[in-house]
């Protein structure tokens, strides 16, 4: 559609998906888009980057922003970076979707509530994972109590993993967008490159296959991404902070690394609809997650230096 093709009542706008780690923000965005944009795992803080996911229909274009989970406990440059990524999103959006995990409120949820109290944009409360709430009668008192804390435009119980009531959530979001032509071409789904998605899919498999601690010390750098007519050739480095972490990722006789590569390649072939040849190496970069220069070299934008100047 060109600008003149849009009906007068067409709506467009930016929508921030906000919440503490591991409440299902990325799963929700992936379901809305019908596309595996944001990597997911059962581990908190899987999402490290702010991602744009663009949903264009005949009546609206919603530009969703999936953010790293807001948290207080963790320190270090990468965690500061992730919090700043999430907080900066609140400045320029038209609608905020605040996602909570069922009826469980944690100290980190309370932290998000305090931040949202200062926002002027309309806020929709998405109560996720309602399919796991056995006694549905406890849901209404929880919603009523939370409504006293923030003035929500809408409250929508959903199950992001099953898609339950997500269409209803989208209808409420659309009603709050601006009367405006679309901001992006209708065929565009995200602002991220294929190279970025390749690195994230590798990191997703590491998050899912490894133990509790090692995935948080991992970064993935795609060194080469060569697309040919029938195949994509990808070379990537998995960076860790200590030599023992390298040994864990490689595994006995290299089996762990082979499994990571196999699962990542299958996901890439599904995403790119082409055969993929994937090479992986594991290298040590000590203290990368608390080193601003290292973070920037690995694709994490350095917001922190502005505070020091």
Q: Are strands 275-284 and 231-240 parallel, antiparallel or unpaired?
A: parallel
More confident of the two residues 123 and 136: 123
Helix (H) or strand (E) segment spanning residue 66: strand 60-66
Do 167 and 280 have their domain in common? no
**What's the predicted TM-score (pTM) here?**
0.75
The set of residues, in sequence order, having a beta carbon less than 8 Å from that of 84 and lying 6+ positions away, is: 303, 304
pLDDT above 70 covers a percentage of the chain that reads: 79
Query: What mean pLDDT value characterizes the chain?
Result: 83
Do 166 and 198 belong to one domain?
no
Looking up residue 166, the CATH number of its domain turns out to be 3.40.50.300
Q: Please state whether 154 falls in left (phi above 0), alpha (psi between -120 and 50) or beta.
A: beta
Same domain, 169 and 198: no
Confidence of residue 77 (pLDDT cuts 50, 70, 90): low
Q: Does residue 255 have a pLDDT over 80?
A: yes
Examine the fold and report which residue of 179, 208, 243 is the final residue of a domain before the chain moves on. Answer: 179
Q: Let me know whether 54 and 137 are in one domain.
A: yes
More confident residue, 173 or 48: 173
Residue 47: the pLDDT is: 54
pLDDT tens readout for residues 225-234: 999 999 999 9
Last residue of a domain, one of 115, 145, 179: 179
CATH (domain of 218): 3.30.300.20
> What phi-psi label fits residue 45: left (phi over 0), alpha (psi between -120 and 50 degrees) or beta?
left
Q: Looking at the structure, do residues 205 and 252 belong to the same domain, yes or no?
A: yes
Would residue 255 count as lying in a domain?
A: yes
Residue 14: give the domain boundaries: 3-179
Task: Tell me, yes or no, whether 17 lies in a domain.
Answer: yes
- For residues 168 and 208, state if they share a domain: no
Tell me the angle at which helices 243-250 and 255-272 cross, rounded to the nearest 10 degrees.
Answer: 70
| Same domain, yes or no: 91 and 61 | yes
């Amino acid at each position: 559609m060109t600008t003149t093709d849009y009906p007068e009542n067409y709506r467009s706008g930016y929508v921030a998906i906000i919440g503490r780690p591991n409440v299902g923000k990325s799963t929700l965005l992936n379901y809305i888009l019908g596309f595996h944009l944001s990597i997911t795992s059962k581990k908190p803080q899987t999402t490290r980057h702010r991602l744009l996911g663009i949903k264009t229909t005949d009546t609206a274009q919603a530009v969703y922003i999936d953010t790293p989970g807001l948290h207080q406990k963790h320190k270090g440059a990468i965690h500061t970076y992730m919090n700043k990524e999430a907080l900066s999103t609140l400045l320029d959006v038209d609608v905020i979707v605040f996602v909570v995990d069922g009826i469980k409120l944690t100290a980190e949820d309370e932290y998000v509530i305090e931040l949202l109290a200062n926002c002027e944009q309309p806020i929709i409360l998405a109560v996720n994972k309602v399919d796991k709430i056995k006694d549905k009668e406890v849901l209404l008192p929880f919603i009523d109590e939370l409504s006293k804390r923030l003035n929500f435009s809408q409250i929508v119980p959903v199950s992001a993993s099953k898609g339950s009531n997500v269409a209803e959530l989208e209808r409420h979001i659309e009603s709050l967008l601006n009367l405006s032509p679309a901001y992006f071409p209708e065929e565009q789904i995200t602002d991220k490159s294929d190279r970025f998605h390749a690195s994230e899919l590798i990191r997703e498999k590491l998050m899912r296959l490894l133990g509790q601690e090692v995935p948080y010390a991992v970064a993935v750098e795609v060194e080469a991404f060569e697309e040919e007519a029938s195949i994509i050739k990808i070379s990537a480095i998995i960076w860790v902070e200590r030599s023992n972490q390298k040994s864990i990722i490689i595994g006995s006789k290299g089996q762990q690394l082979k499994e990571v590569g196999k699962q990542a390649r299958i996901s890439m072939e599904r995403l790119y609809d082409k055969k993929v040849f994937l090479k992986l190496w594991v290298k040590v970069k000590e203290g990368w997650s608390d080193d601003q220069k290292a973070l920037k070299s690995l694709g994490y934008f350095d917001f922190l230096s502005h505070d020091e100047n």
